[in-house]
Structure 1
């Protein structure tokens, strides 16, 4: 779990010391060039861990970091607007539109989620008049969203291409060949605002544990709150935001496309600093809707079918979720016997600034 031979540091959270898991870093500039050592490193990480930092601080990735800052400014303006303006169209489709707070199951037993989200699909942003709320529909906003999606698309496809090369894939079997822009998919940019919450009294908290439907997820956030459970680990632990980097994690579709040899990252979001608003930007690169693969139950399904089934399981109420196949929410990833995941808080967590963000 994490970088080889590293012992995780810990932080006090929920009355106990929990890990801050180490994470390896892949250099985007080297991935673009498909430098053999970096390609081999990326393949190894995806097969053993399923998550890593992608360093975008070089000339090849710096523009994307700037695009994400502009997206963050747009998000603040959107989420501060009246609910009627944010919810102009509601959730147009699972990968397009606005989801208000408490639309899903929360991270704790008996709670709802503690975030609101606006999603803009890659297919939609390519249209002449994208279907998004008027509060972020002026020409400048659309250009910001277009640039954020385009940049994220380039980064994630470059990673897919490197993984294909590292695995010796050729022709149509290369991963990136099932992620073409002109073919329908549920690829989307999700912009999320997590509200301050206190697990001792609030009923709208965090983001439940899951694996992503995507092939690859590219995640940007300056604030703490994301927790992962590395393969074989018995407990969740935090990951640090890292300056100049985004977090990449393997999702279900790439795990399936790799013959279940890659590790899909189990993760969740919890309140670290109870008084803090948290903002994150996630780009979910997903396979074309008609792409076929074998799911954990041995079914031969399309990417579109897997997306729809998992989205329904993920957004339904807790009781119905318990009736869903065990492999659905976690994409077939195995969980060892876990330490207690209850979140009864004995002591307030350490303040977020207690561990410096690199």
Structure 2
């Protein structure tokens, strides 16, 4: 993976990996050269920028700005208010800081997250946190979820056409809007953290439990590990673009031809609050595919198993198949933070996390 730019981070020069840019308007018209470029991105790397700086895409940028305002309102609330929402299901609810393993050995994560699923937002009385539940807030969430769903479906359709798929074999037919799925909008707030002194740091390396992830972020911190490389490097945030990752389900649906994107989040500026929004487009719950262990499983089974692996202790994660966290993608060597080590700390038990959950009947 060629890179021409580096940045200073953690006392060393770290690459900033180049990414291809796909034009959203060209995808909508399914221009052959853009379709070919899109397919190559998914086959060779598993990620790309989606350029939304056109009349077709600018509304999604505007929607993101409204979502950011709503996020600030939610995350600025006292912890007891956020915990009222709780973790209702793996794709719906609130996860406080420290719910998962961190990016460093013997740390927990450094972010809090609120998730609202596509299925939930369509209910007559959706389960939404009370401090963002007025009609204008719900409309913002609806617009964000609908817009991200439109973008990701356009990408799926373009990939199907680019590969010459027809009829029931097209990827869109595993992602019908009328069928239950775990597709969800996740809003994430990373707290200021210093890797030398803090015990809550970043977001551990993983591939996404999704077919496609549409990520909006205006701040540095996302790192990827391209196929065939031995080092994590940064992704540069670019105004007017979304970052698209191929997730596990689309890799499986492509019979492992597409690459999943191994990535993590680290503190780039230890003093800043970082905000990002990700939409995880996921296949219908009962979609069947062959995972990286050769098992024939449903999309929902893979989602729930991987989610529990995210919450597991480091010991339990180490004992689980690597295909869970990394979607079967292979690594040449382990790269955490070089030689930096932190004092050992006790992991948070899954049961302790779940005590904040709210039961919905």
In the superposition, the TM-score normalised over structure 2's length comes to 0.93
Question: In structure 2, how many angstroms separate the alpha carbons of the residues matched to 1:334 and 1:282?
Answer: 24
| Unpaired segments ≥5 residues, structure 2 | 342-361
| Unpaired segments ≥5 residues, structure 1 | 346-358
Shift of residue 277, structure 1, vs aligned partner: 0.5
- Listed as ranges, the matches of 1:149-160 within 5 Å are 149-160=145-156
Question: In structure 2, how many angstroms separate the alpha carbons of the residues matched to 1:125 and 1:340?
Answer: 37
Q: Secondary structure at 2:185's aligned position in 1? A: strand
Question: In structure 2, how many angstroms separate the alpha carbons of the residues matched to 1:145 and 1:206?
Answer: 25
> 1:269 corresponds to which residue?
265
Shift of residue 180, structure 1, vs aligned partner: 1.2
Query: Could you tell me which of 199, 203, 214 is aligned with 2:195?
Result: 199
Moved over 6 A (4+): none
> 1:101 corresponds to which residue?
97
> 2:285 corresponds to which residue?
289
> 1:251 corresponds to which residue?
247
> 2:110 corresponds to which residue?
114
Question: In structure 2, how many angstroms separate the alpha carbons of the residues matched to 1:203 and 1:8?
Answer: 33
Question: Does the aligned pair in 1 maintain the 2:187–2:275 contact within 8 Å?
Answer: yes
Shift of residue 198, structure 1, vs aligned partner: 0.3
- Between 141-150 and 312-321, the greater mean CA deviation after superposition: 312-321
> 2:32 corresponds to which residue?
36
- Between 62-71 and 172-181, the greater mean CA deviation after superposition: 172-181
Question: Does the aligned pair in 2 maintain the 1:108–1:343 contact within 8 Å?
Answer: no
CA distance 1:343–1:56, change in 2 (3 Å): farther
Query: Could you tell me which of 162, 166, 169 is aligned with 2:162?
Result: 166
Question: In structure 2, how many angstroms separate the alpha carbons of the residues matched to 1:338 and 1:194?
Answer: 24
- Between 215-224 and 310-319, the greater mean CA deviation after superposition: 310-319
Shift of residue 87, structure 1, vs aligned partner: 1.6
Q: Secondary structure at 1:81's aligned position in 2? A: coil
Question: In structure 2, how many angstroms separate the alpha carbons of the residues matched to 1:316 and 1:26?
Answer: 36
Query: Could you tell me which of 335, 338, 342 is aligned with 2:338?
Result: 342
> 1:298 corresponds to which residue?
294
Question: Does the aligned pair in 1 maintain the 2:3–2:16 contact within 8 Å?
Answer: no
Q: Secondary structure at 2:294's aligned position in 1? A: coil
The CA deviation string for residues 212-252 of structure 1, in whole angstroms up to 9 with x for no partner, is 01000000011000000000010000000001101001000
> 2:344 corresponds to which residue?
none
In the superposition, the TM-score normalised over structure 1's length comes to 0.94
Query: Could you tell me which of 125, 129, 140 is aligned with 1:129?
Result: 125
Question: Number of paired residues?
Answer: 341
Matched, 1:311 2:307: yes
Shift of residue 8, structure 1, vs aligned partner: 2.9
Question: Does the aligned pair in 2 maintain the 1:293–1:300 contact within 8 Å?
Answer: yes
Question: Does the aligned pair in 2 maintain the 1:115–1:207 contact within 8 Å?
Answer: yes
